């Protein structure tokens, strides 16, 4: 049986990969994106695309009714940690206020299944590594606070249905997926990250390897880690997209509300990542040392136990060299890829 899934931010990096996997799994997909940082060409032709702000409650609700939407995967949101520190109102407005409007549109339209794009930033600087979902949440930047606030809203709204004695089949259920560091691109080179002015390390390093940047800054070399640089858990975008599709099936099969880490359970330092990018690209990067950025914890590594147990999710691409290699190959072809789509748009 086909189901219609509404994907907000589906023209963005993770959203476009997930949209493609949803289509491959046999779902109908409606993509809502205001193209703030997404690209229309990244949306597969089989999906319905609507240029719209996901915070427009009335318009989104009408769209849900029009396409008989039964589930939402909510990616739309701002994600740049340093920007959230310098402009917190922007993050609370889009990531919290607009998310509430989106959730309310779901409830208005009777949509019961909701998958939320959250972040490991909700943990702040965790006391134990790897960090599990039961750990204290103590964000150290507005981006993390905005994601945690939306998680709380989802929990409260789901709980309210139960204390109001709604039948189980009518209750609002959600899965919040806490991403660690997402990177990489489709293995066939057909899709990847095209976000302008990206700040993610592997993306930035691949841009430098392709000559699009003159240098790479290492923000902080005095952390209490093996080589003094931050350590992160990197997850391939295709494995993360697969987690969303699996979470959707979990909810549709009667699964209850969950909060789950999305990571591999092991970390790599900034220097290790840069060494790997240099290896796969055969390019020497111009590296400079810079002060720490505000809002960066020293180490973030996922405890992956719960997502394995709840969703039976198993990654296919748990390999840093593969992640960097796919990201580099995508970056190398991105200029040609964008030009081809511009030419096709003009011809059309």
CATH number of the domain at 204, please.
3.40.50.720
- DSSP H/E element including 326: helix 320-347
Q: What percent of the chain has pLDDT over 90?
A: 87
pLDDT of the residue at 105: 97
Q: Which has the closest alpha carbon to 149: 204, 224, 99, 216?
A: 99
The whole-angstrom separation of Cα 282 and Cα 9 is 34
260 SS3 class: strand
State yes or no: pLDDT of 346 exceeds 70.
no
Q: Which has the closest alpha carbon to 76: 48, 47, 97?
A: 97
State yes or no: pLDDT of 1 exceeds 60.
no
Q: How many CB atoms lie within 10 A of CB 32?
A: 28
pLDDT (average), residues 7-20: 98
Q: Which of 206-215, 273-282, 292-301 has the lowest mean pLDDT?
A: 292-301
pLDDT of the residue at 344: 63
Catalytic (active site) residue 143: yes
Domain that holds residue 157: 4-344
Exposure of 254 by Cβ count < 10 A (0-12 exposed, 13-18 middle, 19+ buried)? Answer: exposed
Q: Which has the closest alpha carbon to 178: 132, 125, 231, 127?
A: 132
The whole-angstrom separation of Cα 287 and Cα 8 is 36
pLDDT of the residue at 348: 61
The whole-angstrom separation of Cα 73 and Cα 49 is 15
Q: Which has the closest alpha carbon to 283: 337, 329, 227, 335?
A: 329
* Model pLDDT for residues 166-190, shown as the tens digit of each residue: 887 788 999 999 999 999 999 999 9
The whole-angstrom separation of Cα 318 and Cα 268 is 12
pLDDT (average), residues 264-288: 98
Q: How many residues does the chain have?
A: 348
* Phi, psi torsion values for 106, nearest 5 degrees: -60, -45
Using pLDDT thresholds of 50, 70 and 90, give the confidence band for residue 41: very high
Domain count, the chain: 1
- Look up residue 232 and give its two tokens: 């992160």
Using pLDDT thresholds of 50, 70 and 90, give the confidence band for residue 119: very high
Exposure of 132 by Cβ count < 10 A (0-12 exposed, 13-18 middle, 19+ buried)? Answer: middle
The whole-angstrom separation of Cα 63 and Cα 67 is 6
pLDDT (average), residues 219-237: 97
The whole-angstrom separation of Cα 126 and Cα 181 is 16
- Look up residue 82 and give its two tokens: 């340093």
* Model pLDDT for residues 213-224, shown as the tens digit of each residue: 999 999 999 999
Using pLDDT thresholds of 50, 70 and 90, give the confidence band for residue 293: confident
Angle, CA of 299, 134 and 246, to the nearest 5°: 90
* Model pLDDT for residues 62-115, shown as the tens digit of each residue: 999 999 999 999 999 999 888 999 999 999 999 999 999 999 999 999 999 999
pLDDT of the residue at 343: 67
**Mean of pLDDT over the chain:** 94
Catalytic residue among 91, 123, 143, 223: 143
pLDDT of the residue at 128: 94
pLDDT of the residue at 347: 65
Between the alpha carbon of residue 308 and those of residues 1, 132, 311, the distances in Å are: 26, 13, 6
């Amino acid at each position: 049986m086909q189901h219609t899934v509404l994907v907000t931010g589906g023209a963005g990096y993770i959203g476009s990969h997930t949209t493609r996997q949803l289509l491959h799994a046999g779902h109908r997909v409606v993509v809502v994106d205001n193209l703030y940082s997404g690209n229309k060409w990244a949306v597969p032709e089989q999906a319905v695309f609507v240029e719209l702000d996901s915070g427009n409650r009335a318009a989104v609700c009408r769209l849900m009714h029009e396409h008989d939407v039964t589930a939402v995967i909510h990616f739309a949101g701002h994600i740049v940690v340093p920007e959230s520190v310098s402009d917190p109102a922007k993050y609370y407005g889009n990531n919290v206020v607009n998310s509430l409007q989106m959730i309310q549109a779901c409830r208005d339209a009777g949509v019961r299944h909701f998958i939320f794009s959250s972040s490991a930033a909700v943990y702040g600087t965790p006391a134990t590594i790897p960090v599990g979902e039961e750990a204290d949440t103590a964000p150290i930047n507005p981006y993390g606070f905005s994601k945690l606030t939306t998680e709380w809203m989802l929990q409260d709204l789901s709980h309210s249905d139960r204390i109001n004695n709604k039948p189980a089949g009518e209750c609002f259920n959600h899965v919040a997926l806490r991403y660690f560091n997402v990177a990489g691109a489709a293995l066939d080179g057909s899709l990847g990250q095209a976000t302008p002015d990206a700040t993610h390390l592997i993306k930035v390093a691949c841009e430098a390897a392709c000559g699009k940047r003159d240098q790479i800054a290492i923000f902080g070399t005095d952390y209490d880690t093996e080589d003094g640089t931050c350590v992160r858990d990197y997850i391939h975008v295709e494995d993360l997209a697969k987690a969303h599709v699996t979470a959707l099936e979990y909810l549709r099969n009667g699964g209850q509300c969950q909060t789950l880490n999305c990571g591999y359970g092991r970390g790599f330092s900034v220097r290790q990542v840069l060494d790997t990018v240099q290896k796969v690209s055969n390019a020497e990067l111009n590296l400079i040392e810079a002060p720490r950025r505000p809002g960066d914890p020293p180490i973030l590594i996922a405890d992956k136990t719960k997502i394995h147990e709840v969703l039976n999710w198993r990654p296919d691409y748990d390999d840093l060299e593969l992640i960097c290699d796919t990201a580099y190959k995508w970056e190398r072809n991105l200029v040609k890829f964008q030009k081809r789509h511009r030419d096709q748009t003009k011809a059309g």
